[in-house]
Amino acid sequence: MLLAGLLGAAAVVVTSGCGGRPEDRMPVGSPSGATPFVWFRAGAAPSGWQSMELPDRTGVLSVPPDATPMAGDPGSVSAVVTGPHGELRIYLNATPRQGAESPTNWAGFRLAHLTGENAASATRLSYRARMPFRGGTGACVEDRYVTRIGAHKYREMACLVTGSRGGSVLVVATPAPSWDRDRAVLEQAVNAYVAE
């Protein structure tokens, strides 16, 4: 039952899909007017973190020591951190770029994918393009969404990152009520992501 629940949660944050709205094609933006992703500083993962390279060698995901790798879509790498009762705390995933996603349409593409798959609603919180990841550049969107089944609330950061070998998508997510507690770990995972 726990595995089914984790896989269900993971299905909500998968990265393939299609769509996009012109109004989401802005290079930088935050509804509050604050500079988005101001905390971002590309750098090495903290000591003790594990590296998970994508099979197509387009990216390397770093996960904290308490994360457990889990099966995902073919060609992707995923890991979860669970709480004391087996509940999902943090979800981390990297997937090769698969569709029409691009830095100019990334925010709209991601939200359309969420609502086209498993989310009843999705709201963009901030977006930033031209982020200097190690080995490449990326565009990231922070959003929150509510699942169609169970009305579970999640908050995530999803980044489309391009390196010399191609593009990949990084997704880090947590149940919305846990955001304040787990945000620093999610930010570290984004900072440590490597494009190849």
**Banded pLDDT at 35 (limits 50, 70, 90):** confident
17-33: average pLDDT: 41
CATH topology of domain 2-195: Protein Transport Mog1p; Chain A (3.40.1000)
**Banded pLDDT at 32 (limits 50, 70, 90):** low
**Banded pLDDT at 7 (limits 50, 70, 90):** very low
Other CB atoms within a 10 A radius of the CB of residue 104 amount to: 16
Global pTM reads 0.86
Write the pLDDT tens digit of every residue in 139-177.
999 999 999 999 999 999 999 999 999 999 999 999 999
pLDDT at 180 over 70: yes
Residue 136 vs residues 9, 59, 89, 161, 168: alpha-carbon distances, Å: 29, 10, 29, 7, 10
pLDDT number for residue 99: 86
pLDDT at 28 over 80: no
pLDDT number for residue 176: 98
Query: CA 89 to CA 185: how far, in whole Å?
Result: 11
Query: CA 43 to CA 188: how far, in whole Å?
Result: 9
- Match 């880090």 to its residue by tokens: 172
Write the pLDDT tens digit of every residue in 46-82.
999 999 999 999 999 999 999 999 998 899 999 999 9
Q: Where are the domains of the chain?
A: 2-195
Write the pLDDT tens digit of every residue in 82-124.
999 999 999 999 999 988 999 999 999 999 999 999 999 999 9
Mean pLDDT taken over the chain: 87
